[in-house]
Amino acid sequence: SAPLLQAAGKKNSLNLLTLTEAELEEQFVRGDGPGGQATNKTNNCVVLKHIPSGIVVKCHQTRSVEQNRKIAREILQEKVDLFYKGEDSDVFKEQKASEKKKQEKKRRAKENLERKRHFKEMQQLEKK
CA distances from 76 to 39, 51, 112 (A): 22, 11, 41
Domain ranges of the chain: 21-86, 89-127
Q: What single DSSP character describes residue 17?
A: P
Q: Among candidates 73, 121, 91, which has minimal Cα distance to 3?
A: 91
Q: Any residues with CB less than 8 A from the CB of 43 and at least 6 apart, and which?
A: 28, 29, 30, 65
Reduce the DSSP state of residue 15 to 3 states and report it. coil
pTM of the complete model = 0.62
Task: For Cα atoms 21, 26, 31, give the angle at the middle one, nearest 5 degrees.
Answer: 145
Q: What is the pLDDT of residue 42?
A: 81
Q: What is the pLDDT of residue 4?
A: 44
> Could you read off the pLDDT tens digit of each residue along the chain, which spans 128 residues?
344 444 444 455 457 777 888 889 999 988 877 777 766 778 889 999 999 999 999 999 888 899 999 999 999 988 888 888 888 878 888 888 899 999 999 999 999 999 999 999 988 888 87
Q: What is the pLDDT of residue 7?
A: 47
Q: What is the pLDDT of residue 70?
A: 92
Domain 21-86 fold: Double Stranded RNA Binding Domain (3.30.160)
Q: Inter-axis angle of helices 90-127 and 65-85, to 10 degrees?
A: 90
Calpha distance 107→104 (Å, rounded)? 5
Q: What is the pLDDT of residue 36?
A: 73
Burial class (CB in 10 A: 0-12, 13-18, 19+), 46: buried
